[in-house]
Structure 1
Amino acid sequence: MKMIPRGLAVVLRNAPSKQLQFSSIPNNRDNVILTRLKHKDWLTPKEATKLLNSLTHPSSSLTFFHLYSSRKDFNPTEPFCTLLLSKLAQSKHLLEIHTLLQTLKPRRFSDNFFFTLIKTYAHVFNRIDLALHTLFQMPSFYQCLPSSRTFNFVLNLLVVSKLYDVAHGVYRSAPKLGVGLDACSMNILIKGLCSRGELDAAFRVFDEFPRLGFEPNERTYTTLMKGLCEAGRVEEAFGLLERMERDGVGVDAVVFNVLIGGLRKQGRVEEGKGVLERMVRRGCYPNEGSYNEVLCALVDVKRFCEAKEVVVQMGLEGFLPSFVGYKGLVLGFCEKGLVGDVDWVVRDMVRHGFVPRMGMWKQIVKCVVLDGCVCFDGVLED
């Protein structure tokens, strides 16, 4: 069996084998379906899959598999096993999934099945170790080479989980796994390096794109820009924007939002507003994130009246301010004792489904009491 390279610093807790446990049948409909399996009439794989799909309770799938596997016409095809895997995941039967794999290991399935299995381990059970273990078992134990999609999913999973050293080890293992790296793999590696603060290393990977025959795309540039902005190197991020434009790479609102966010962190509010205006001139229309970045930037520097104007503009454009933006605006107007503006913001946020929290209400009440004015009756009644 092919094992994960020793250098990958992950402790794999292999789920132990366990006999299948059969749950009680939850309803008559499932009873009827399971009774069908006790008949001696021949079932095609397609019919078996259809019956499995008809079960109304995921736990019934265990009994179904037990009955079906005892029949002479037992033929667990990939569609059947994929469906069974889904039902076992719904009922949170991790050990039973492991037992299913042990039962089916002589059979060969496609990358699609293992992609589903790996996603199940990661998203349903939060077992990154099992997802990684499955990836490395695929070539020799399951006789199935991982696709770039499956490989990149695991690589990105590790980066998102901040297991950067493990991600680097997986990246280096691509040739042994029979995986051809692509631009997506490189982008994930760049994301991991930027998240770790290793920007110089990220740019070295970026410089490798032409040699490997890859074209950097919008995601490549956006990831590098975000890394630069988080490191306070905003001017270099704008330099990348110019390079994107020279190279003909499409620039959308996401790119500009990163730049506005970078300027916000440095308190450069006017420049952030200028970027917003530049977007419109270029025909790249701002989205909700663009306005929220500017809104929060204005709140940060206590320019609350201008921030309120942004909220008004967002309403006209059909965009929704963030709760953080609303909160900052309410607390800011409370601090300045502007009860009328506090009233307007609270009513607007409630109208959009946001509810002020206890800390905000304390400041609101304090502001109203000090002003000697009660103007929130309508809001409180709602």
Structure 2
Amino acid sequence: MALKDSGLAPSDIDGLIVGPQVGETPQHVPATVAEYLGLQPRFADIVDLGGATGAGMVWRAAAAISAGMCETVLCVLGNTRDPGSVTRSPNRNPIREFDVPYGASGANQAYAMIAQRHMAEFGTTPQQLAQVPVKQRANAMLNPAAVFHGKPIATDDVLNSPMVMSPLRLLEIVMPCGGGAAVIVTSSDRAKDMEKAPVYVLGAGERVTHRALSQAPGLTTSPLAPAISDAYSMAGIGPADIDFLSIYDCYSIVVAITVEDAGFCAKGESGAWLEAHDFSINSKLPINPHGGQLASGQADLAGGMGHIVEAVRQLRAEAGERQITDPDIALVTGNGATMSEEVALVLGGANT
């Protein structure tokens, strides 16, 4: 009805703001709604302000449009008062209809399917993917706050660790832990008066394409590709301008696909790239100098925030023993669900 009233088509919607709950999922709510409605928004958000939620959605939509993140936002709320309804609807959730009945349940199997597809399509090997946890663990040796600080591993350790979901082994899968992370964002004018040098948000991009893996547009290219492209465009830079990567790494395959989608190697060539590339602070392109989540641990959603914290510390030259020499620009990524809710940030130091 809202589309008809506006004279727009569903394809015109590139932003989505929803309420905090959809019956069958406590998380990934925008992705679930987008999946139902056949949308692939460039911006998605949840607003939870009680009776003020609708009004709060409107100004947030206007802010997102003003920031250049999207052009047309759907703000939607709803409820049901059917006494016979239940919180979960096992028949209407695409995951429960098309994935779970065939044994596809949980994050491990979903990312394993992505890894299997990448191996089948491009010849990526277990030895190549094992480079991610090995090299990030080496970085964690310089981070006393990392869960695995002081515990280096070799490729054989990864390949001999228990198979969790073929082809992914235990040491390729992030370990949950406790912890928290926070950042503060303010205006550039206000930042000039702060005690510490500011770090600037130079560019941002976001994409949401699906919730269930069975509904994914593809398995070897993620929504990060257009999100990173948008972030580069907003910042007026390209891959060659990036000094280091602080990229989401819940599984080894996520790092492999991210470096492809970010333009650091061609599609399908990340396996060889990971083998040849040095992740360390002394390399031409350091990756996750704090060790990433695979070596530092994943404190639920704070694990992703940790990549932002590390980028800020590096750009402020506050990373101590693991400090990169004179970095100016960082690429930070975030990944939700199964490579389906994706965000890219380009951050710059005080000299950018």
Given the two structures, how large is their TM-score scaled by the length of structure 1? 0.22
Bigger RCO of structures 1 and 2 (CA < 8 A, at least 6 apart):
2
Q: What is the TM-score of this pair, normalised by structure 2?
A: 0.23
Higher helix fraction (1 or 2): 1
